[in-house]
Amino acid sequence: MSKPIRTLIVDDEELARKRLRRLLSAFADVSLIGEAANGAEAVHRLESEQPDLVLLDVQMPDLDGFAVLQMTEVTPLPLVIFVTAFDQYAVQAFDANAIDYLLKPVPQPRLAQALAKVRAKLTERTEASAQLARFLQTLQPPAQNHLQRLPVRTQQRILILPVAQIAALRVEDGVVAALTAEGEFWTKYTALTELETVLEPQTFLRVHRQVIVNLNHIHEINAFDNHTARLTLTGGHQVNVSRNHLPALRQMLRW
């Protein structure tokens, strides 16, 4: 007898999770190991449980399905079946090398077809995971609207920070860290350019090649004779302003 397919359900709708539970119970080789009701919980469960398969809702209020996979630090990634009420994500789902894409309400025959694909792919999971990881690296934050929330890590948890609470974003050791009144948290991003284009330009300003500040969180400016400066921000964080970026800061603050 083959090993059971260890499966996680991720959906913010309780009724959708309940339906998937009932449908999966008909398959003897599927072992349901848990559920997650939001993106942050999903990342934790994916990392702690390391399932073979995840039935993943695309649209959730905190992190969408793609962001969940981007935030997950586990290798190999599980096989993925995306589940959603909207078919406009189909192309992106298959670009992500998803096993299948199911529309809600999920019919039993379509789920059976998807699970058949899973069984065929289990022996190739490492390569499928690598292809998915390569796709996720190409994704950028949505550019059509200014970023409102940013997922960050703290110990074993994922926090969803409103960007208004972020005093600055700073590159440290190849990772973008978010500085807030509560402390410093690291993100999944490795370069400020990945975030700069989706932040509100009247609020967030690059002041150094390694720092973007939230102008609303500047409490003190120390200007130096060499045309640089140091900013003191909410939470007591201090960041440097480079010579090249000081004029833009003066203009934005009318200083």
* Cβ-based neighbour number of residue 183 at 10 Å: 11
Taken in order of first residue, the domains within the chain and their CATH numbers are: 5-138 (3.40.50.2300), 149-253 (2.40.50.1020)
Q: Tens digit of pLDDT for each residue in 6-20?
A: 999 999 999 999 999
Cβ contact 21:9 at 8 Å: yes
If phi > 0 it is left, if psi is from -120 to 50 it is alpha, else beta; for residue 97 that is left
pLDDT at residue 144, rounded to an integer: 47
pLDDT band at 124 (very low <50, low <70, confident <90, very high): confident
Residue 173 scores a pLDDT above 80: yes
* Cβ-based neighbour number of residue 140 at 10 Å: 11
pLDDT band at 127 (very low <50, low <70, confident <90, very high): confident
pLDDT at residue 130, rounded to an integer: 82
What average pLDDT does this structure show over 95-107?
86
The chain-wide mean pLDDT, for the chain, equals 89
pLDDT at residue 166, rounded to an integer: 97
- Predicted TM-score (pTM) above 0.85: no
Strands 204-208 and 183-186: unpaired
DSSP assignment of 152-168, as one string? EEETTEEEEEEGGG--E
